[in-house]
Structure 1
Amino acid sequence: MAQQTSADAMDSMVVTTADFTEDKVFIVGAPDARAVLCTADQSYYIKKEDTSNLRLLTTHTDWSGPEETDGRRTIQVSGAARFHYLVPDATQLRALLLEAPYEKPRESAAAQAKRAKLHKLYSTSDLVEALQVSEQEVLSMLNEMHAFEEAGTWRLLGPKYQAQVFTDMLDAVVQHDWKVLSTPGVPVKQFLVELDEPLVAIQQCCKLYGSLAMVDGEDYCTLDPVKVATFRAKSLFDEQTAEAQFQAQQQHVTMNPSDAGWELDQFMEKWKLRVPDSVTVNLEMLHGLVLVKPQKAGKPTRIVYFPEDELPPDPKKRFEKLFQMQEKWTMKQLEPYIKYVLCLQCLSPATRN
């Protein structure tokens, strides 16, 4: 932020950067949380600064004068304030939406309505209040995770339901030899004919693992080969995790996350069999999704599922998770897990100014 050089300077807002000028701002914050100042598209922690020359000082706070016609007031500000950019937490947003995930309707409308009352469904304003970030940041995160709006509330497909629907879609692709990996793709209505699933579930899978496009007035689904490959890879890890959990229960011990991994060569062999013939798999496809762990001499290298996007965005919490996973890291291993945080720090207004 730019500091004022004169006590006579006049500002229309409590800040002077272009990011704020003429914007509406509001402050949110739960009793047990930090106060957050929000503009239309960014959020900032408000932090008390103990150094005197960083305090916000006002020399004119007389609000008893006549109302101004344009609804604005100008006060004289001396000194400067420091705002700390708040990185939105997409993991917290996902957790809120998955409190009541979208599943295939198997009940009557009355039963669904009754069940819905037991779970919290969130509108945009609800999410802004719960996450304490700006509306634009909430909408941006919702768009990135391909959430969809239903009756004024935001929904995500339940993870197991989503995996089941997409698996059925891939099975239909193989069965009918559909050319879904290249444009224009496959008409969505063909999936509707083959699968006993609602349109919204099929559309969401198309968006999550590829794209939807309108061709001659009809929706077509094109799948991304890399996303198909990563989905199949994750399914292998899910199967191995389930097996490791079962073995741990049988032995009455706590499962070590690394026990849920695969031997690298075995994983690559099985992975190749799971993807379409036209897709060539390689570990670069799993950048930021898996952790390759070399073993001691004589033992085969292992690979474990460790997705970067499920780690907290806060640097301290992220590093805690990383070192809970393993005590020592090489720079090559660490790079995909800290790149996101470093980029955000570079983009933060607090860092730039």
Structure 2
Amino acid sequence: MSDMIDVRFSPSTTQDAGSFRLIELPSELCQLIESTTNAPCHAKPSLCIKGNIAEDAVLCTTDKTYTLRSVVLSNTLLVTTPSRTDPGGTVNVRDRLHEVLELVPSVPKLHKLPVLLKGAQYDEGDEDQRAAFVKYCYNQASSEIQASEAEFQQGLKEKRILVLDGYLRPIVPAHLSTILELILSYTVTLSLSCQAAEVEELVSTLADEHEVPREVSAQIISWFGTVKEGLWEIDIRAVVAEIGLEILRHHKHEPIVESDFLSKWKNKIGDTFEAFVALELLTGNYLRSDDTSGGATLTYFPASGLPTDPAARFTELFLTKQRWKSNDIEPFLLDIAINSKERDKLLLKYARAITAPESTWYTSRVGYNN
């Protein structure tokens, strides 16, 4: 005969109603927690829920972000605790749950950073005017931005945001490009190895010859390669791409002939590194048009400047071009889709595929007037 347990409604049921939430863990997160059950406190995974009242909540681990999504249950779940007076034979119902919170992998919500940091840009000569900028500190941003710590740090790197005296300072693109040009130049003149350039020598040279603060140049160097034991393995392609991007930024409203652009780009890079110049480095930042007798033209069109909401993103894309080749549209979806599977779902939802012998084309499922 099975043991009998009395189920009673706790006197605090009314008070506790709505106090409990049940979260369904994805397999990778469940395995992470189980694998560290007996680990010391400092080695246990860090879980944090972020989001203000106007945002959908997300759960962040040290390196991933999950959107919290409510799923209605067909059956009611009871939250029970043992009775204090009869712990072996009676349980008290504390709450009744009609939904479960599901964790869905999502891209980090870094789009707020440029808005929050308006007025905090760092430019040449700003080292003497640090009290004048809009102040937003690292710790505040890290706690408010809906991203894991690893994703947040990667976001600062990709968005070219310096951390100076604990505050976030986006570097002005033109100034960054100038510093990178100097770095490439000194790499050659100082006969430094691109696989193991001495960071101290570069940082000191930039400070002495061009008054670039050491903390600024050191962070920039860390953005474009790997620093280990004072030696820098330079990501030449990333450096070349950033310099090319700065040239392209001046052609948002006025297209530039592709051959002219490539010529300007190579001139900025110099003979030693011009072989690295390739239009593919700037994928997701331009539109290319062949409809001109003067040759193909390029227009600055960055994915980072498009809406983060998928519906609004596709509206913007199809208002810009009525038809997109698959290879052309995919780079403009990377920052709103966690993976290729999620990207394909978005394309299926918002676009209509047309298969042609040379490529797959996408058009809008909604008619727009250009």
The whole-number CA distance in structure 2 between the counterparts of 1:100 and 1:234 is 21
Distance change in 2, residues 1:153/1:120 (3 Å): closer
Structure 1 runs of 4+ off > 6 angstroms? 74-79
The whole-number CA distance in structure 1 between the counterparts of 2:315 and 2:138 is 32
The answer on 1:286 being equivalent to 2:286 is: no
Partner of 1:295: 291
**CA offset at residue 344 of structure 1?**
2.8
8 A contact 1:180–1:221 mirrored in 2: no
Partner of 2:339: 344
8 A contact 1:58–1:78 mirrored in 2: yes
Let me know the Cα RMSD of the aligned residues. Answer: 4.1
Partner of 1:206: 221
SS at match of 2:313: helix
Specify the structure having the higher radius of gyration (Cα): 2
Distance change in 2, residues 1:273/1:149 (3 Å): closer
**CA offset at residue 141 of structure 1?**
2.9
* Correspondences of 1:328-339 after superposition (within 5 Å): 328-339=323-334
Letter in 2 for 1:233: G
Letter in 1 for 2:79: H
Partner of 1:185: 197
SS at match of 2:324: coil
The whole-number CA distance in structure 2 between the counterparts of 1:306 and 1:236 is 13
Distance change in 2, residues 1:160/1:37 (3 Å): same
For structure 1, the residue ranges without an aligned partner over 5 or more in a row are: 1-11, 69-73, 242-256, 349-353
8 A contact 1:290–1:303 mirrored in 2: yes
SS at match of 1:273: helix
8 A contact 1:294–1:301 mirrored in 2: yes
Report the structure, 1 or 2, having the larger strand content.
Answer: 2
Distance change in 2, residues 1:129/1:209 (3 Å): closer
Could you give the per-residue CA deviations for residues 274-325 of structure 1, whole angstroms, max 9, x where no partner exists? 32213313323333333222216x4532112233455455433432332343
* Correspondences of 1:113-262 after superposition (within 5 Å): 113=131, 115-116=132-133, 119-124=134-139, 126-142=140-156, 145=159, 147-170=161-184, 172=186, 177-180=189-192, 182-185=194-197, 187-188=201-202, 189-214=204-229, 219-221=230-232, 223-238=234-249, 240-241=250-251, 257=252, 259-262=253-256
Q: Which has the higher contact order (CA 8 A, sep 6+)?
A: 1
Q: Normalising by structure 1, report the TM-score.
A: 0.67
Distance change in 2, residues 1:122/1:346 (3 Å): farther
8 A contact 2:107–2:335 mirrored in 1: no
Quick one: percent identity of the two aligned structures?
Answer: 21
**CA offset at residue 39 of structure 1?**
4.5
Letter in 2 for 1:96: L
Q: Normalising by structure 2, report the TM-score.
A: 0.64
For structure 2, the residue ranges without an aligned partner over 5 or more in a row are: 1-20, 35-44, 88-93, 344-370
Distance change in 2, residues 1:178/1:310 (3 Å): farther
Number of aligned positions between the proteins: 300
The answer on 1:276 being equivalent to 2:296 is: no
